[in-house]
């Protein structure tokens, strides 16, 4: 998973379409045919940008964040989508939208994607259009409507950092409260399970890209619920593989069922 905000942070202007094309293209070349999920700009909330004006908000995490910010800055979103569609020629890329709450969010983004492709086509710029468009499940709204969102989204990835924050009503930066309301508590696990079941029924891929996926005690529960893919920082991968290989799916499934009963 490519968190594209890193291309936008610590600078005074936004990266150009060409600059982004070079960064995405290079990543795809390095990954040599393996899938790269590019998450569109996820800024706002805890990650403001000095060169993008957002009116002060009392609750930035409930405000103009992620996709909502792109809705206010369509030039920026268009440049990013065009760069991704161009880079898609160099490998297997999926596009993922952050902070989706309603189907209309995806409808809007799909129209933007069509517009980006049409512009490239009109300018005779080489690109691909057969790129899957998926979403993050990081609002409770999305978690409980995966069956409906599946009509618009090609795949899902659960962002447990934000899903926990919004479910438990605990600011993710609030260390003191975080200890008291851990992310792997029953309400969050039940939302994850509900989302996974709905995605399975719709025949859509579902992974986890929040930090819970990298927690050795929790990852087997996620696998046992049917999560197909876990995203984590590279250093965590070898011990996680070792942990998961100690278990059969039946054992993981039984552990998940036990955890879900509370």
What is the closest distance, in whole angstroms, from the C-beta atom of residue 158 to ligand PEP in the complex? 7
User: Do 29 and 91 contact (CB within 8 A), yes or no?
Assistant: yes
Q: CB neighbours (10 Å) of residue 71?
A: 14
160's contact among Mg ion, ligand PEP, none, with CB below 5 to 8 A by partner kind, is ligand PEP
Q: Is the Cβ of residue 17 or residue 138 nearer to ligand PEP in the bound state?
A: 138
Q: Which residues pair with 156 in a beta bridge?
A: 135, 206
Asked if 161 touches ligand PEP (CB under 6 A), the answer is: yes
Asked if 207 touches Mg ion (CB under 5 A), the answer is: no
- Mapping DSSP to helix (H, G, I), strand (E, B) and coil, where does residue 177 land? helix
Residues 84-143 that bind Mg ion (CB under 5 A): 138
Report the residue from 159, 207, 213, 224 that binds Mg ion according to the rule CB under 5 A. Answer: 159
> 148-182: string of b/e by CB count within 10 Å (b at 16+)?
ebbebbbbbbbbbbbbbbbbbebebeeeeebeebe
Asked if 162 touches Mg ion (CB under 5 A), the answer is: yes
What is the closest distance, in whole angstroms, from the C-beta atom of residue 114 to ligand PEP in the complex? 26
For the chain, state the CA radius of gyration. 18
Q: Is the Cβ of residue 161 or residue 200 nearer to ligand PEP in the bound state?
A: 161
Asked if 105 touches ligand PEP (CB under 6 A), the answer is: no
What is the closest distance, in whole angstroms, from the C-beta atom of residue 108 to ligand PEP in the complex? 20
| Helices and strands, number each (H, E), in the chain | 13, 7
Asked if 44 touches ligand PEP (CB under 6 A), the answer is: no
Asked if 159 touches ligand PEP (CB under 6 A), the answer is: yes
Stretch that binds Mg ion, among 27-35, 83-91, 156-164, 211-219 (CB under 5 A): 156-164
Asked if 140 touches ligand PEP (CB under 6 A), the answer is: no
The pair of three-digit structure tokens given for residue 231, joined into one six-digit string: 């995203």
Residue 160 backbone dihedrals phi, psi, to 5 degrees? -70, -20
Q: Strands 155-158 and 133-137, how do they pair?
A: parallel
Among residues 231, 241, 186, the alpha carbon closest in space to that of 208 is found at 231
Longest Cα pair distance anywhere in the chain, in angstroms? Answer: 57
Q: Is the Cβ of residue 20 or residue 139 nearer to ligand PEP in the bound state?
A: 139
Among residues 225, 230, 228, 238, the alpha carbon closest in space to that of 191 is found at 225
Residues 202-241 that bind ligand PEP (CB under 6 A): 209-210
105's contact among Mg ion, ligand PEP, none, with CB below 5 to 8 A by partner kind, is none
Q: CB neighbours (10 Å) of residue 258?
A: 11
Binding site for ligand PEP (CB under 6 A): 3, 42, 138, 159-162, 209-210
Binding site for Mg ion (CB under 5 A): 138, 159, 162
């Amino acid at each position: 998973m490519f968190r594209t905000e890193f291309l936008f942070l610590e600078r005074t202007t936004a990266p150009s379409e060409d600059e982004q094309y070079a960064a995405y293209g290079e990543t795809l070349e390095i990954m040599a045919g393996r899938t790269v999920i590019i998450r569109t700009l996820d800024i706002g909330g805890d990650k403001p940008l000095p060169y993008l004006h957002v009116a002060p908000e009392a609750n930035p995490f409930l405000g103009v964040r992620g996709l909502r910010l792109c809705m206010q800055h369509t030039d920026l979103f268009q440049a990013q989508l065009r760069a991704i569609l161009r880079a898609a020629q160099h490998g297997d890329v999926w596009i993922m939208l952050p902070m989706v709450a309603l189907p209309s969010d995806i409808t809007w983004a799909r129209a933007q994607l069509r517009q980006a492709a049409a512009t490239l086509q009109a300018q005779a710029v080489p690109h691909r259009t057969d790129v899957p468009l998926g979403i993050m499940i990081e609002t409770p709204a999305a978690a409980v409507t995966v069956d409906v969102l599946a009509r618009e989204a090609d795949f899902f990835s659960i962002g447990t950092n934000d899903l926990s924050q919004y479910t438990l009503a605990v600011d993710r930066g609030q260390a003191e409260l975080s200890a008291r309301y851990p992310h792997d508590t029953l309400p969050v696990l039940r939302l994850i399970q509900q989302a996974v079941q709905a995605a399975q029924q719709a025949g859509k891929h579902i992974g986890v890209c929040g930090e819970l996926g990298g927690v050795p005690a929790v990852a087997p529960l996620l696998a046992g619920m049917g999560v197909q893919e876990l995203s984590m920082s590279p250093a965590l991968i070898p011990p996680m593989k070792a942990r998961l290989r100690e278990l059969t799916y039946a054992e993981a499934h039984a552990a998940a069922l036990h955890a879900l009963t509370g």
